[in-house]
Amino acid sequence: MTLIALCPADSAPAHPSQLDVAGQLLSLLGETTTEPRPDIQLEALTLAVAADLPVLLWGEPGIGKTAALTQLAESLDLPLTTVIASVHEPSDFSGLPIIGDDPASQGVPMAPPDWAVRLVQAGRGLLFLDELSTAPPAVQAALLRLVLERRIGSLQLPAGVRIVAAANPRSSAADGWELSPPLANRFVHLQWTHDHEVVVRGLRGTWPRATLPALDPGKLSEAVDFARRAVCTLLAARPALVHQMPTSETRRGGAWASPRSWEMALRLIAFATAAGSGADVLSKLVRGTVGDGPGFELLTCIDRLDLPDPETLLADPAAAVLPERGDLRQVVLDGVVAAVRNRLDKTRWDAAWALLVKAVDTGAPDLVVVPATTLATLRRSDWDIPQSIEELAGMVSVSRGADRAASRIAEQQARAAAEAVRV
């Protein structure tokens, strides 16, 4: 008798469940790549992180602050630890009291939370304090020591840990609070907005990649000297800027000038200089540290530090290189005329005219009208008139004629308006 085994040899394979198919689709949607792409916001953030300064990203909900921090941590190979400040108690940041065997002799240590212990064990990481503007004042007070001293209870965070926070404006935050001035003054404030092209390209599967700024080892000393000179030159001339806490509650919760924030600005200028960052990146960092008003004054001071020395220009007018920007060129030409006035002789006077001719040939002619008029008044009676004056005379005459015509038109319009009122 033959025994036949009953085996499902030809049975059909089991169909995958709908959840399995959904998982495959989600996996495909999650496949993205990165590419190096200029991004002013990302460069400013990465520079501040490299400078080991706490950063606070301000932006409306849903524009990618958390995603940017996640991508930054991946790019820099730093483990990311996210802490939602508003759902924690003050003791979570100041430490929980733990009573030992003999409190009278040993005291009561303040035990840190588990996420802080993990950061210490890793030795490095990116601590992300999310939803900071929804943290109540008591929690904000407990965060002061964490942000400034990197201490949580009795635990000291290692030097390899960087701190970045994110917040929504109070108008769009869930039960939001303004930041307290002491906490706000410890951060570099960066306004985070979305870039349409970056979003579209990212949704197609390619996002920009954050990289640490390439600091030039040969420029470190020069960068420090430049940063110190820029900040100290401004504050020596404008001592009122050293400490300016705003009067309104909203502005006190942002960037404002204090000795602490000026020191932060100095550090960021040094890092930006050593990295060769552009003016837009430096502007975000400086204004995000000391505020818009003092920040603009510092940026103007930095621009003028790069201006050529009037004495160098007068020594060799043929080789002079004048700034491209009109406002900076005007400052240089005014400085040249002032230098000639302070030490007046025929050679320097002629050199100044040669520089004005070069300014006309390489830029807007109207910028030389005032310097040329002032320089002409410095001529002594026994000095010959240089050929350059004749070259500039027509331009100055046309400019003055245009000014007089504009004045006449304004006077006629004023008289016509007055007549209309009387009628």
Residue 261 falls inside a structural domain: yes
pLDDT at 81: 92
Q: Cβ atoms within 10 A of the Cβ of 113, count?
A: 17
- Helix or strand holding residue 279 (H, E): helix 279-290
Residue 58, φ and ψ in degrees, nearest 5? -105, 130
pLDDT at 11: 57
Percent of the chain exceeding pLDDT 90 equals 31
| pLDDT classification of 135: cutoffs 50, 70, 90 | confident
Answer yes or no: is pLDDT of 14 > 80.
Answer: no
384: left (phi over 0), alpha (psi -120 to 50) or beta: beta
Higher pLDDT, 181 or 391: 181
- 369 and 404 assigned to the same domain: yes
- 347 and 406 assigned to the same domain: yes
Residue 103 falls inside a structural domain: no
pLDDT at 405: 43
Residue 13 falls inside a structural domain: no
- 198 and 344 assigned to the same domain: no
- 59 and 157 assigned to the same domain: yes
Residue 187 falls inside a structural domain: yes
Residue 261 contacts residue 234 (beta carbons within 8 Å): no
Residue 142 contacts residue 107 (beta carbons within 8 Å): no
pLDDT at 217: 92
Amino acid residing at 247: T
Answer yes or no: is pLDDT of 98 > 70.
Answer: yes
Residue 5, φ and ψ in degrees, nearest 5? -75, 130
Residue 208, φ and ψ in degrees, nearest 5? -70, 150
Tell me the mean pLDDT in the region 75-99. Answer: 83
d(CA 354, CA 298): 32
Residue 14 falls inside a structural domain: no
- 149 and 250 assigned to the same domain: no
- 278 and 317 assigned to the same domain: no
Task: Give the CA angle between residues 12, 17, 22 to the nearest 5°.
Answer: 135
- 44 and 139 assigned to the same domain: yes
Residue 135 falls inside a structural domain: yes
pLDDT at 407: 57
Tell me the mean pLDDT in the region 101-129. Answer: 81
d(CA 382, CA 363): 32
Q: Give the β-pairing of 55-58 and 110-111.
A: unpaired
pLDDT at 264: 97
Q: Give me the chain's average pLDDT, please.
A: 83
- 72 and 170 assigned to the same domain: yes
Residue 82 contacts residue 165 (beta carbons within 8 Å): no
Residue 152 contacts residue 251 (beta carbons within 8 Å): no
- 90 and 128 assigned to the same domain: yes
Residue 408 falls inside a structural domain: yes
- 286 and 400 assigned to the same domain: no
| pLDDT classification of 16: cutoffs 50, 70, 90 | confident
- Helix or strand holding residue 354 (H, E): helix 346-362
pLDDT at 44: 93
Last residue of a domain, one of 160, 181, 208: 208
- 187 and 74 assigned to the same domain: yes
d(CA 368, CA 358): 10
Answer yes or no: is pLDDT of 103 > 80.
Answer: no
pLDDT at 274: 94
| pLDDT classification of 288: cutoffs 50, 70, 90 | very high
Residue 165 contacts residue 84 (beta carbons within 8 Å): no
pTM: predicted TM-score of the whole model, two decimal places: 0.73
Higher pLDDT, 399 or 159: 159
Answer yes or no: is pLDDT of 406 > 70.
Answer: no
Last residue of a domain, one of 289, 305, 321: 305
Residue 188 falls inside a structural domain: yes
Tell me the mean pLDDT in the region 196-205. Answer: 86
pLDDT at 3: 54
Answer yes or no: is pLDDT of 398 > 50.
Answer: no
Amino acid residing at 170: R
- Helix or strand holding residue 328 (H, E): helix 326-342
CATH number at residue 190: 3.40.50.300
Per residue in 18-58, pLDDT (tens digit) is 898 999 999 999 888 888 878 888 899 999 999 999 999 99
- 297 and 315 assigned to the same domain: no
d(CA 258, CA 255): 10
- Give the number of domains in the chain: 3
Q: Cβ atoms within 10 A of the Cβ of 420, count?
A: 8
Residue 132 contacts residue 85 (beta carbons within 8 Å): yes
Max avg pLDDT among 60-74, 109-123, 291-305? 291-305
Residue 41 contacts residue 48 (beta carbons within 8 Å): no
Per residue in 353-379, pLDDT (tens digit) is 889 888 888 877 778 888 888 888 888
Q: Cβ atoms within 10 A of the Cβ of 167, count?
A: 27
Q: In the numeric block, which tokens belong to residue 221? A: 């000393």
How buried is residue 352: exposed, middle or buried, by Cβ count under 10 Å (0-12/13-18/19+)? buried
Tell me the mean pLDDT in the region 296-308. Answer: 86
Domain that holds residue 283: 217-305
Last residue of a domain, one of 169, 188, 208: 208
Q: In 3-state terms, what secondary structure has residue 125?
A: strand
